[in-house]
A and B are shown apart, each in its own frame.
Chain A
Amino acid sequence: MIPSEFDYVKAGSVKEALDLLKQHGDDAKVLAGGHSLIPLLKLRLASPAVLVDISGIKELSGVKAGDKSVTIGALTTHNDIEHDDSLKQSLPILAEAATLIGDPMVRNRGTFGGSLAHADPAGDWPAVALALDAKMHISGPNGERTVEANDFFVDILTSDVQAGELLTAIDLPVPSGNVGMSYQKFAHPASGYAVVGVAAVVTVEGGKCTNARVAVTGAGAKAVRLTAVEDALVGKELTDEHVAAAAEQAGDGIDYLGDIYASEDYRAHLVKVFAKRAVLAAAKNAK
């Protein structure tokens, strides 16, 4: 499988990458780890005239831990996240999710920012980013802007990153208090993609849930927060019964995807099952 012809340019800095994207306009695509883009090129589902390779831009890679939040460079690989000791302490859901992505070789190349910007409806990171209340830093011809995770995922394979822009870094607030988090995934047995994946972050004070963020990927065209489940959890003790009752609220407002492997009804069922599992696992981690 050989892609159609294209030219290749390597950018040394964010500014250079933005200039190249401006110069080539709609003919250009950004290449980072390439593990979403290269398969599309090989199938000729995409045939850009120019690839702008940003993988050599040093400042876009790595994890910076702060007091109240961590910043992950867009080019940080899944493997880097899986094995980062500071993240295992501050935001353990990241390593838990990273180890479920693809396989070791895919994780060695695929990037956190690339996966988010690509907005695959079955990608794992979108649900985790929503549950962690991530903030996306985007650079473009008109300067920098920041987008909340809630507004970042627009539609199937469409994020808020516009043509000519680059996702540069992702801020993840580190929640304070007695917090537990977990990502639970029903993986497609062949591809490993999420048929349904649910990320949950819960705060438990005085035996009761005081805050919950629960998000799902794989179910519909884009990852979304399960706000009805979150509302049903707050104020409750996170027992099996209460969590199961809250998980039954999952699914409002999701336009379910159906395919040869999992029908719409099956996905709707899985969302409830995995919402329950993720919240219970998160609650267990909080104690």
Chain B
Amino acid sequence: MATHPITLMINGKEQNSDVESRKLLVHYLRDDLGLTGTHIGCETSQCGACTVMLNGKAVKSCTVFAVQADGAELLTIEGIGKEGELHPIQEGFWEEHGLQCGFCTPGMIMSTYDLLQKNPNPDEHEIRHALHGNLCRCTGYQHIVKSIQYAAKKMQGAAAD
């Protein structure tokens, strides 16, 4: 069994591990590190529940090997917001009822994070285009779009202060 030493920054903390070549990043996060906020939905690169930020870009962690993330900076849902203090995107999903079962929500929030860092004031079409890789089977997306509009507004307000 081929294993490799990897070093990465996860949510601002350095992490050193030995991983098997074939271990997927999502399994490394969930099984080795206990970061179970990143979900496994389809495991076939379609549903987006496993989305994390890898070197500043949203990726599907079921379609990246952990060893490929050696030297990378990673942000997962656990690194968004603080204990007792919601990130504006999380607050948007709370206020606008952007979830029902919540399974897709970590991925939705990470994709939103990627969108809003590139485009702080997206229109509805741009929001829907950015969510193309995230499936939700509960909400019909309408409330998710509203949640993101809420977050964008709140974050712009914070930036203006």
A3, A51, A109: the one within 8 Å of B64 (CB)? A109
Which of A33-41, A115-123, A175-183, A278-286 lies at the interface with chain B? A33-41
B51 CB–A CB distance under 8 Å: yes
Which of B40-48, B83-91, B144-152 lies at the interface with chain A? B40-48
B60 CB–A CB distance under 8 Å: yes
A259 CB–B CB distance under 8 Å: no
A64-88 interface mask toward B, CB cutoff 8 Å, 1 = contact, 0 = none? 0000000000000001000000000
Q: Contact between B67 and A8 (Cβ–Cβ < 8 Å)?
A: yes
B16 CB–A CB distance under 8 Å: no
Q: Contact between B2 and A8 (Cβ–Cβ < 8 Å)?
A: yes
A1, A5, A105, A191: the one within 8 Å of B43 (CB)? A1
B114 — which chain A residues lie within 8 A by C-beta? 104
Q: Contact between B22 and A35 (Cβ–Cβ < 8 Å)?
A: no
Q: Contact between A38 and B21 (Cβ–Cβ < 8 Å)?
A: no
A102 — which chain B residues lie within 8 A by C-beta? 133
Report Cα–Cα, A63/B130, bound state, in Å: 24
Q: Contact between A5 and B21 (Cβ–Cβ < 8 Å)?
A: yes
B48, B68, B111: the one within 8 Å of A34 (CB)? B68
Q: Contact between A7 and B133 (Cβ–Cβ < 8 Å)?
A: no
Q: Contact between A38 and B43 (Cβ–Cβ < 8 Å)?
A: no
A247-262 interface mask toward B, CB cutoff 8 Å, 1 = contact, 0 = none? 0000000000000000
Chain A: interface residue total (CB-CB under 8 A): 30
Q: Contact between B2 and A34 (Cβ–Cβ < 8 Å)?
A: no
A266 CB–B CB distance under 8 Å: no
Q: Contact between B57 and A34 (Cβ–Cβ < 8 Å)?
A: no
Shortest B136–chain A CB gap in Å is 14
A35 — which chain B residues lie within 8 A by C-beta? 45, 63
Report Cα–Cα, A109/B27, bound state, in Å: 19
Chain B CB within 10 A, most for which of A4, A35, A104, A108: A104
A2, A7, A79, A109: the one within 8 Å of B63 (CB)? A109
A103 CB–B CB distance under 8 Å: yes
A51 — which chain B residues lie within 8 A by C-beta? 21
Interface residues of B in 60-116 (CB under 8 A from A): 60, 63-65, 67-68, 111, 114-115
Report Cα–Cα, A285/B114, bound state, in Å: 31
Interface residues of B in 1-46 (CB under 8 A from A): 1-2, 4, 20-22, 24, 27, 43-46
B4, B60, B129: the one within 8 Å of A106 (CB)? B60
Q: Which 6 A-B pairs have the closest CB atoms?
A: A103-B133, A8-B21, A103-B132, A7-B2, A108-B57, A3-B22
